[in-house]
Structure 1
Amino acid sequence: MEPFAGFGILAVLIIGGVAGWLAGLIVRGYGFGIIGNIIVGIIGAFIGTWLLAKLGIFVGGGLLGAIVGATIGAVVLLLIIGLFRRA
């Protein structure tokens, strides 16, 4: 299952930006600015889709489901990045 199936490139950027921004709020101190947050959100969408599928969790379809899944993945990605920053 692809995280952005059916969305255009503009929607992917908006979803990625929102997910990266939300993840930056959840994981304080690990934001990367607007471009960095979009990238974290897009990569996070792939991580979130894979991780949630492995756990058997379905967060819903459509725009809201894409944002929730991407945000979960982006939070995981920011936590991993935070571990490497500390080391």
Structure 2
Amino acid sequence: MTLTELLILLVIAAICGAVGQSLAGYDLGGCLVSIVVGFIGAYIGLWLAGKFGLPEIFAIRVGGKTFPIIWAVVGSALFTLIIALIRGAIFGRRI
């Protein structure tokens, strides 16, 4: 995988993570956090799709790696909701 392919994959993960966070209605952080949330969301989304027997709906191949866009967004939203619930339970609601 070349540097260009890695950067493209990071941008795609950041966009998926940001969209997932906005769908959940909770912001976990900046650009680097969105990249991490995008990759974690891809793993969660693919795991859920595998458990329910669902296909990869929209996947992009970058440098021999496949990145599932739809499942990354769904997984990112679920991951963000879980983190928001945990933070709310630990720190309480801030006004």
Q: When the two structures are superposed, what TM-score results if normalisation uses the length of structure 1?
A: 0.79
Contact 1:46–1:70 (CA<8 Å) still a contact in 2? yes
- In the TM superposition, residue 68 of structure 1 has moved relative to its aligned partner by 0.7
Runs of 4+ in 1 over 3 A off after TM superposition: none
- What is the 5 A alignment of 1:1-87? 8-63=5-60, 66-87=68-89
Could you say if the C-alpha distance between residues 23 and 61 of structure 1 is closer, same or farther in structure 2, counting changes exceeding 3 Å?
A: closer
Could you say if the C-alpha distance between residues 60 and 29 of structure 1 is closer, same or farther in structure 2, counting changes exceeding 3 Å?
A: closer
Number of aligned residues: 80
Counterpart CA distance in 1 for 2:48 and 2:9 is 19
Q: Deviations over 1:10-66 (max 9, x none)?
A: 232122111111012101123411110111001110111011110111142532x71
The gaps in structure 1 that reach 5 residues or longer are 1-7
Backbone CA RMSD of aligned residues: 1.9
Which structure shows the higher helix fraction?
1
Which structure shows the higher strand fraction?
2
Q: Which has the larger radius of gyration?
A: 2
The gaps in structure 2 that reach 5 residues or longer are 61-66, 90-95
